[in-house]
A and B are shown apart, each in its own frame.
Chain A
Amino acid sequence: MSADGIAAPMLDPVGTSPQATDPIRLHKALTRVWGAGPGLARLSAVNHSTLGLRFMATAAAFFAVGVALAMLIRAQLATPQSAFLGPETYNQVFTLHGTIMMFLFAIPMLEGLAIYLIPKMLGARDLAFPRLTAFGYWCFLFGGLILIVSLLAGVAPESGWFMYTPLSSRPYAPGMGADVWLLGVTFVEISALTLAVELTVSILKLRAPGMSLDRMPIFAWYVLITAVMMLVGFPPLILGSVLLELERALDLPFFNPTRGGDPLLWQHLFWMFGHPEVYIIFLPAAGALSTLIPAMAGRPLIGYRAIVAALVAMAFLSFGIWVHHMFTVGVPHLALAVFSIGSALVAVPTAIQVFAWLATLAQGRPRLAMPLLYVFGFFAIFVIGGLTGVMLAMAPFNWQAHDTHFVVAHFHYVLVGGFVFPMLAALYYWLPHVTGRVAVHSLGRTAFWTMFTGFNVTFLPMHLTGLLGMPRRVYTYVGHEGWTTLNTISSIGGFVFAIGLALIAVDVALQARFGRRGGVDPWETGARGVGTLDWAMPTPPPIYGFAALPQIGGRADRLDPRAVGRALAAGRGYLGFVRNGWQETLGVAMATGAPEQVVILPRATFLPLWTALTLAVAVLSVLGGAYWLALAAAVGVVGLMLLAAQRAGLEVDHPLLPVGQGLSLPPHTQVDGSPPWWGLVFTLVADGALFASLIFGALYLRLIAPGPAAPELGLPALGWLAAAAALVGPLATRGALAANAAGQWRGPWLGAGLLGALVAAGAFAAMIATAEVDPRAHATAAVQAALVGYGALHAGIGALMLLSAGLRVRGGYVSAARRLDLLLCRLWSDYAAVTGLLALGLALALPLLPQGGA
C-alpha cells in the first residue's frame, strides 16, 4: 500500500475486448461513450457533471428572479402608504418570492452541487440512474417556469408561500393561483424526491472499491443523511398538496371546518415538511463547509465521528419540532413544551459542528482565500440567526414575535447565513474545478463586503421592526407606528445587498473567462493532507469523470489527488477501458465498500425530456381546465415510462466481467442487490412516509378535529373483493420467481398477477364511486375515499409494473440469472397489498372510532 492510501497499481490484465491502453485513446473512447453530442443533442445528456451544472445554473437564474421580487417588496415597504404596488400584486410578489427561494433555488442548488460532486468524491463515474437525473432536471425547469410565467400572467399564487387554509381554499382563493402553486410545487417536489432516492442509492452502492463508510468523505455523509431526510420529509407536503387540490377541484372537505375538516391539518402536514426542509437546506451547505474548511485550514477535519453522530441526531430531531411554527394556534402547554425543548435541543448538534469547524481552523494554518471570507460571513450571520432561533423557541417570546418581521429577520439570517454564504464559499472553492481557472481579481472581496454590509443593514434592524409590532405580509403601513425609519433603512440595505450579489456574478464571470489556468488540484489539497477524489482529475473534468476507478486503502479525504489522478488517467485502476460501448462503473457492498458488481448505465437519450414535457402538458391542462387533454398526457407519461423500462438492462446473460486488477464481477442485472432494487426500496420508504401521513391525517380528522358530527358511514362489500385481489400480486410474483428459477413459463403467473392487480384497482375505485355517503359531505367520508384511493393507485401501478415485466420477459430481458424485474414486481406487490389492507382496515375502522371535538 503506498503512502497516499491507494493500492499499488497493477498492470492491466486484458479484458474481453481491450480497447485502449494509451491515455489519449482511452480518453477519446470514454468520451465517445459517455458524451451526448453537440448541438441539440446536448438536451439528451444524462451525465452528472452536465446535469449538476445545469441544476445550479438554473437555480441561480431563479434566485435572480427571487431577488428581483425582494427588491419590489423593499421598494413598496420603504415608505408608508406607498402607491407602488397594490395588495393584489404585492400578495403575489411575496408569495412567489418565498416559493421561488425555497423550492426553485435552495433545494435545486444543493441537489445540483450534490449531483456534480458525489460521484467524483466517491470514485464513481456517475450516479445510479442517469435518465432519472435528467428527468428530475426537466421537471424542475418546467415546474419552475410554470410558477414564473404565472406571475407575468397575473395568476400567481397569492396566499403566502405556506398557503394556509382556508385562505388558500376555493371560497377565499377562487382564481387559478393556488392551483398553480399546488401543481407546480408538487411537480418540482416529485423531481426532488426522485433525486433523493438516486443520491441515497448512489452513496450507498456506487463507490470506489475499498471505500468503506468510515473512509467516505464527510460531504457524502451529509448528502446521504439529507437525502434520507428528503425521502421522509417531502411526502407530507405532497400529501397535503394533493388533498388541498382535491378539496379545491372536487370539494372534498379535508380542511373545511364546516364539514368536519380542519385548517390545522394543513398546518401540521405543511410544517412536518417545512421544518425538516430548512435543515435539508442547511445540511449540504454545512457539508460543503466541512469539506472546504479543512482545505482552507490545511489540516483534516476534526471530529469526523462526532459530526456523523450530530448529523443523525439533527436529522431525527428536526422531524420532532415542527409545531414551533404553530405556537400561537392554541396548542396545550404540555405539548407546546415538548416542541419548545426539542427546538432548543437541536442547537446542540449544530453547536458540535460549529465548534468542530472552529477547532479545525484553530489547529491549522488558515490561508486567506475567498472561500474563507465567506466562511467568516457564515459564522457571523448564521450564529446570529441561530441565537434568534433559540429565542423564538421560547414560547412566551414567540407569542410576541411570531408572524412579525422579527421572524423574517431570523429566517433570513439562518437561510442566508447558513445556506447562501456557505454556497458562495463552495462556489469559489469549486469554481476552479468547473472552469479550470483560478481567481486573480480583487473584485470578489469588494463584492463580499458589499453583500455582507447590505445584508446586515437590511435585516439587523428588522428584528426591532418586528418587536415594535410590524406583522408579516402587510403591503403597507400607516406611518405613525414608528416603523418608517427602520423600513427605509432596510430597503436601502436591500439594494446594497442586491448590488453585492450582482458583483459576485460579475466576478464569477470574469474568473471563468479570464482567470489563470489552475491545473490539477489548484487548492493543493494533497500537499495539505486533505485531498479528495474530486480533485484527482483534470480541471475542467472530462465527461466520464475517471478514466479508471481507484482502489481505496485508507481515508478518502487524505489522498494525494495529483498522484492518484495521474495513475487513473493512465488507465491504471478498475475499468480502465471501454467494453461493448457500455457506460460502466462499479457497485460495492454498502458498509465495507467491497466490490460486488459492474453497473452498466443507460446512455444519453431524449426520453427524460419527452417524459417531462408530456407531464408539463398534463399539469398545464389541469390548470387550464382541459381535463381530456390532461388525461391523454397522463397516459402518454405512463407510456413513455414503460418505454424507458423496456430498454434498461441487458438482453443476455453474461459471465463474470473482468474489471481490472485481476478481479471479475457480475453485471448488475445478475445481482439481487443492484441499484434498481435499492432504488425501489427507498422509493417505498418515501411512499411509506406518504402513507403514514395519510394515516395521521385520517386519525387526526376523526379523533381530534372539531366540527359537526359525521353521518353514519359504512363500506360496501366490494372491500372484500379488493382485499382478496390485493393478495393475488404477492402470490403470483412469488410463483413467477419460482418458475423463473426452474426455467418454466412465467407468463401465466404474471398474467394472474396483472389480473389481480386490475381487479383490485377496479374494486377500490368502485368503492369510492358507490360509497353510501358522498365523500363531499364530511371530512371523515372524504378521508375514507382518500385511503381507498391510495389502495387503488398502488394496485394500478402494480398492474403497470407486471405489464412491463411481461413485455420484458417476451423481449428476453428476464432469465434465471437476470431476475430483477420479478423482484421489483414482488416488492411492489407486497407493499401494495400491505398498505391496501391497512388502508381498507382503517377506512372500515374510522366510523367506529369516537369523533373527538364534535
Chain B
Amino acid sequence: MVAGSAVLTAVVLTPFALAVLRPGSLQGVSTRTWIVGGGLVLPALVLTPLLGWALVAGERMQPGRGDALRIEATGEQWRWIFRHPDAGVETQDVLHMPAGRPVEIALTSRDVIHSFWVPRLAGKLDAIPGRTTVLRFVADAPGTYEGVCAEFCGLDHAHMRFNVVVHAPQDYAAALAQAAKGLAKDAP
C-alpha cells in the first residue's frame, strides 16, 4: 500500500508541477479526461482490488468456527486478568497460549473500555463493559510478545501492558500448571 500511495501522490503532484512550472504543457488534456478519468476511473481502479482484498481477508479472520481454544480476558483499570476455563487457571498480565492453534479470546471489561492488542500477533479488539467480544488469531511461532491496552482508559493507560507467552504445543499444559502454581504462591 505504501508503494501504491507513493505512485498516487506522484499522479497528483506531477500535473500540478507541470501546470505551474511549465504552463500550457497540459493544454491538450480534455476536461473529460481530468474529471472522469481522474475523478471516477482512477479511484475505481484503485479501490476495487483494495476492497476485494480487505473483505476477503476480513471474512477469514472472523471468529466462531468452533475449532479454537477459548481463553477469557478481562480488562480493568489498569491490568488484564486471563482465565483458561478448561484448565481452571487464572493469570494476571501474562497470557499463556499454544503455538499453531487458533485461539479465541473472549474479551470484556469490569469498568471502562479497554482494548486488547498484541501488535506482532493480531489486530486489536475492544473490551467493553457489559459485552463480550471475541478475537480470533493464530500464533505461528513460540516466543514472548508484548501487548498494550489500546483504548484510553484513564491515568495509567500508558502502563497497562501485558505479555503473551506462546509455547510449543507440547509444552503448553505444563506451562499453564506452572503459572497456576506461581499465582498461588504470590497470592496474599
CB atoms of B134 and A328 under 8 A apart:
no
Asked if A469 meets B119 with Cβ closer than 8 Å, knowing A348-B39, A384-B5, A396-B57, the reply is: yes
CB atoms of B9 and A387 under 8 A apart:
yes
Q: Does B154 contact A (CB under 8 A)?
A: yes
Residue of A nearest to B10 (CB): A383
B134 → chain A closest CB, angstroms: 7
Asked if A337 meets B58 with Cβ closer than 8 Å, knowing A358-B19, A387-B8, the reply is: yes
1/0 contact string of A472-483 vs chain B (CB within 8 Å): 111111000100
Q: How far is the CA of A390 from the CA of B53 in the complex (A)?
A: 13
Q: How far is the CA of A159 from the CA of B77 in the complex (A)?
A: 14
CB atoms of B34 and A328 under 8 A apart:
no
Contact among B54, B120, B158 with A395 in the assembled complex (CB-CB below 8 Å): B54
Contact among B51, B77, B128 with A394 in the assembled complex (CB-CB below 8 Å): B51
Contact among B9, B23, B125 with A364 in the assembled complex (CB-CB below 8 Å): B23
1/0 contact string of A312-339 vs chain B (CB within 8 Å): 0000000000000000111001001100
Q: Does A379 contact B (CB under 8 A)?
A: yes
Q: Does A680 contact B (CB under 8 A)?
A: no
Residue of B nearest to A391 (CB): B1
Contact among B44, B47, B128, B156 with A263 in the assembled complex (CB-CB below 8 Å): B128
Q: Does A403 contact B (CB under 8 A)?
A: yes
Chain B residues positioned under 8 Å from A303 (CB to CB): 31, 34-35
Residue of B nearest to A475 (CB): B158
User: Which of B4, B38, B53, B130 has the largest count of A CB atoms less than 10 A from its CB?
Assistant: B130
Chain B residues positioned under 8 Å from A742 (CB to CB): none
Q: Does A380 contact B (CB under 8 A)?
A: yes
B186 → chain A closest CB, angstroms: 22
Residue of B nearest to A404 (CB): B150
CB atoms of B153 and A167 under 8 A apart:
yes
Q: Report B6-32 residues with CB < 8 Å from chain A CB.
A: 8-9, 12-13, 15-16, 18-20, 23-24, 26-27, 29, 31
Chain B residues positioned under 8 Å from A349 (CB to CB): 39
CB atoms of B54 and A379 under 8 A apart:
no
B2 → chain A closest CB, angstroms: 9
Q: Does A264 contact B (CB under 8 A)?
A: yes
Q: How far is the CA of A469 from the CA of B46 in the complex (A)?
A: 27
Chain A residues positioned under 8 Å from B43 (CB to CB): 347-348, 351
Q: Report A212-254 residues with CB < 8 Å from chain B CB.
A: none
Q: Does A153 contact B (CB under 8 A)?
A: no
Chain A residues positioned under 8 Å from B112 (CB to CB): 164, 166-167, 172
Q: Does A662 contact B (CB under 8 A)?
A: no
CB atoms of B152 and A476 under 8 A apart:
no
Q: Does A366 contact B (CB under 8 A)?
A: yes
B105 → chain A closest CB, angstroms: 12
Q: How far is the CA of A390 from the CA of B128 in the complex (A)?
A: 27
A128 → chain B closest CB, angstroms: 34
Q: For the side of the interface on B, what is the size category?
A: 35 or more
CB atoms of A394 and B54 under 8 A apart:
yes
Residue of B nearest to A333 (CB): B62
Q: Does B180 contact A (CB under 8 A)?
A: no
A235 → chain B closest CB, angstroms: 24
Asked if A328 meets B31 with Cβ closer than 8 Å, knowing A336-B58, A390-B50, the reply is: no
Asked if A341 meets B51 with Cβ closer than 8 Å, knowing A359-B34, A391-B1, the reply is: yes
CB atoms of A348 and B40 under 8 A apart:
yes
Q: Does B133 contact A (CB under 8 A)?
A: yes
CB atoms of A383 and B8 under 8 A apart:
yes
B126 → chain A closest CB, angstroms: 5
Q: Does B84 contact A (CB under 8 A)?
A: no
User: Which of A355, A468, A477 has the largest count of B CB atoms less than 10 A from its CB?
Assistant: A355
CB atoms of A302 and B130 under 8 A apart:
no
CB atoms of B148 and A471 under 8 A apart:
yes
Q: Does A148 contact B (CB under 8 A)?
A: no
Residue of B nearest to A302 (CB): B31
1/0 contact string of B32-76 vs chain A (CB within 8 Å): 001101111011101100110111011101100000000000000
Known A-B contacts: A351-B39, A403-B150. Give 7 more (CB < 8 A).
A87-B158, A310-B39, A329-B126, A348-B39, A356-B39, A361-B19, A469-B117
The 7 A-B residue pairs whose C-beta atoms are closest, nearest first, are A257-B130, A399-B123, A355-B38, A352-B39, A330-B133, A359-B34, A394-B54
